[in-house]
Amino acid sequence: MTIESARDVRQTRSDEAAWLSAGALLIAAGLATNISVSRQWSLCSIGGWSSQTCLTLKQTMNMLPIQADTLALRAPGAAGLAALGLTLATLAWIVFLILSPLSRGIKIFGAVVAVPLVIMSIGAWLGVWSVESWVAHGGTWIIIALIAEFVAIGFLVYATMSRQPVNRVTTQRLIVLLFGVTAFGTMHQSAEFILFGLPHQSATGVPRYLGFGTGLTLFLTGVAVIWMTLWARKKPPHAHDASILG
């Protein structure tokens, strides 16, 4: 029979709280994003996909996050919900870092990952309040979103190869968590653009319902993080799962 010390118990509880909180925030981000996308694309449902309003919308939809580049074509609340989704995804990573008992060095690198995410979130709200400013810096947001993904990949490499590496189970959950946190990243968005565009290759502008993939990614990764955390409770630790935390 193994008796855990009070410190180990606190670390375990803090670790679970970190994962569960991050997962819940990703789920909320996914719901906010999908509601936003539903409202925005409802303009095409009302007027029809061949209407001038819909055709113009497809030409002016921005991918980071999904919102129209012209105020006249923005559905009520859609842009704000899109920015909220990105902000919640960013908060999921920040809350995880604060609550997680990962080593100091790994947390510092994790804070670097949060920087482009925070900048993207600020940019998203800037797009809600000032469409002109958002459009003028469109290329900048795309570059920052790409940086966020590459820094996240670098974080995973560092976390698994540093002097204080995370264990296999934690690495698996980190991959899922970061895949959701960076759902608004350029590579994610490009993959969704290609996937949604395959059925309508002759169409112009962005594919129909672009953005639902982002919301679904956020939601599913949130569910997966929570499920993996709860499942880990039932599995006894193995020797090769040893980790240096704290």
List pLDDT tens digits, range 229-243: 998 877 655 544 444
Nearest alpha carbon to residue 174 among 23, 25, 29 = 23
Whether 158 maps to a domain, the answer reads: yes
Tokens representing 116?
């482009």
| Domain-located, residue 2 | no
Q: In this structure, what DSSP letter does residue 241 have?
A: G
Does 52 fall in a domain? Answer: yes
Q: What is the pLDDT of residue 162?
A: 77
Q: Residue 4's pLDDT band (boundaries 50, 70, 90)? A: low
In a domain, 6, yes or no: no
> Residue 7 falls within a domain, yes or no?
no
What angle, rounded to 10 degrees, do the helices at 78-99 and 168-181 form?
160
Residue 174 confidence (pLDDT): 94
Residue 50's SS3 state is coil
Q: Out of 66-70, 144-148, 194-198, 219-223, give the one with best mean pLDDT.
A: 219-223
pLDDT at residue 196, rounded to an integer: 78
User: How many residues does this entry show for the chain?
Assistant: 246
Single-letter amino acid code for the residue at 75 = A
Q: What is the pLDDT of residue 6?
A: 59
pLDDT at 200: 66
What pLDDT, in 10s, does the model give residues 89-103? 999 999 999 999 888
Does any domain span residue 125? yes
Query: Is pLDDT above 90 for 228?
Result: yes
In a domain, 244, yes or no: no
Domain around 133 = 12-235
Flag whether 68 is in a domain: yes
Number of structural domains the chain divides into: 1
Of the candidates 26, 18, 89, the residue with the CA atom closest to the CA atom of residue 222: 26
